[in-house]
Amino acid sequence: MIIDGKQISQSLKDAMKIEVDALAEQYGRRPCLMVIIVGDNPASRSYVRGKIKATEYCGFDGHLVELPEDVSEATLLAEIDKLNNDPLVDGILVQLPLPKHISEDKVIAAISAEKDVDGFHPENVARLWLNQHCILPCTPKGIIELLDQAGVEMAGKKAVVIGRSNIVGKPVAKLLLDRNATVTIAHSRTKDLAAVCREADILVAAVGRAKMVTAEYVKPGAAVIDVGINRTEDGKLVGDVDYEAVLPVAGAITPVPGGVGPMTITMLMRNTIECFLERQILGKSYVQKHFQLRKFLIDMDINEQKYIPQYLSHYNSIKCTCSQLKRKCCGIWKVSKRRKKHGISEQNEGTYITRLQ
């Protein structure tokens, strides 16, 4: 089976478009994503164009802040500070990489953790690893979504992630672990990589080496997720997986382009909506929210809920474990009898805000 990331992300964006209109009607404003780009790096420009296009498609307020290559770190930090303090801004993204004279770590840490739609802020990273409510990084979040949509069972399965970067390898390994897979993180120093990978029921390649994963890396029937984006000498876009060779062996596989890539942008949209909802519903810090949500859940009269997001239909259609549902950011969820059985609902069947951590 080919996992069609393009089509899956399109249907998610269509659902979000309807949802955003409903949000605008209910709250009198639309989710707002601010994207900052420094300089003229063509690849960055192209990524940013894709992000702004998606915000427009989904009906967000989205704006691009363009700063020159030689902008000082102080000016960039001041810009971020302004957006942090703007109540009408829900998400802030600074396109990486940044010019050498600017510290990426400093810039990422300067973005308010509650508006950090990339999920790179140290507070969000720590919260991910502590199993606390956080904003998930977009690519790993998109990978789990793809596996869910393709009906790939993760619990009890062996997963191998090739690559240990902070933005893909490590967080996707953590998310697979959260779904009860037995996870191995392989990397440039892993011995006999092909044999390690052949053990995997789920193989995620996030390396950045064109067609490195050949058929001998793949267990027959495995789900293969190709994160890599590489350009061949003739300008063609290829993944880390030798797609033609692996396709007949794998049980499911994502193509490049049209696999993980579109999902990354779609999850950025999802994160922006979740930040919007969190701020609209509670407008409080993480810690305050933790208590408020519990209280809200208990106090809420389900009949007073006017707004049920469109994407419920999507999420309701997937198999959803208790921990997975809890991990999804704040939203309004219809609790089915099956979920009640898993202990998600503390009360009657109905519509609840679920974020219990």
Number of residues lying near ligand NAD (CB under 6 A): 23
Q: Using the rule CB under 6 A, which residue among 13, 45, 158, 164 binds ligand NAD?
A: 164
Nearest to 83 by CA among 117, 51, 111, 113: 111
φ, ψ of residue 238 in degrees (nearest 5): -135, 160
Q: Using the rule CB under 6 A, which residue among 75, 103, 180, 230 binds ligand NAD?
A: 230
Check binding of 144 to ligand NAD (CB under 6 A).
no
Contact window for ligand NAD (CB under 6 A) among 9-17, 31-39, 186-194, 294-302 = 186-194
Check binding of 188 to ligand NAD (CB under 6 A).
yes
Q: What whole-number distance in Å separates Cα of residue 272 and Cα of residue 60?
A: 9
List the catalytic residue out of 95, 149, 211, 226.
95
CA distances from 219 to 48, 203, 343 (A): 37, 9, 36
Q: Is 95 a catalytic residue?
A: yes
Site for ligand NAD in 234-263 (CB under 6 A): 260-261
Q: Is 319 a catalytic residue?
A: no
List the catalytic residue out of 61, 90, 118, 148.
118
Q: Is 51 a catalytic residue?
A: yes
CB proximity list for 46: less than 8 A, separation 6 or greater: none
Site for ligand NAD in 81-110 (CB under 6 A): none
CB of 28 to ligand NAD, least distance (A): 33
Nearest to 3 by CA among 203, 169, 156: 203
Q: Using the rule CB under 6 A, which residue among 202, 227, 253, 273 binds ligand NAD?
A: 227
Beta carbon nearer to ligand NAD, 29 or 158: 158
Residue 270 CA to its chain's centroid (Å): 8
Pairing of strands 223-226, 230-231: unpaired
Nearest to 162 by CA among 117, 129, 193: 193
Beta carbon nearer to ligand NAD, 266 or 354: 266
For residue 257, cis peptide bond before it (omega within 30 degrees of 0): yes
Check binding of 206 to ligand NAD (CB under 6 A).
yes
Q: Using the rule CB under 6 A, which residue among 83, 102, 168, 353 binds ligand NAD?
A: 168
Q: Using the rule CB under 6 A, which residue among 98, 200, 207, 325 binds ligand NAD?
A: 207
Count of residues for the chain? 357
Query: Where do the H-state alpha helices sit in the chain?
Result: 5-27, 42-58, 73-84, 104-110, 122-129, 138-149, 169-178, 193-198, 243-246, 260-281, 286-299, 311-316, 322-327, 337-341
* Residues labelled as active-site residues: 51, 95, 118
Q: Which positions lie near ligand NAD, rule CB under 6 A? A: 139, 162-165, 167-169, 187-188, 190, 193, 206-209, 227-230, 260-261, 264
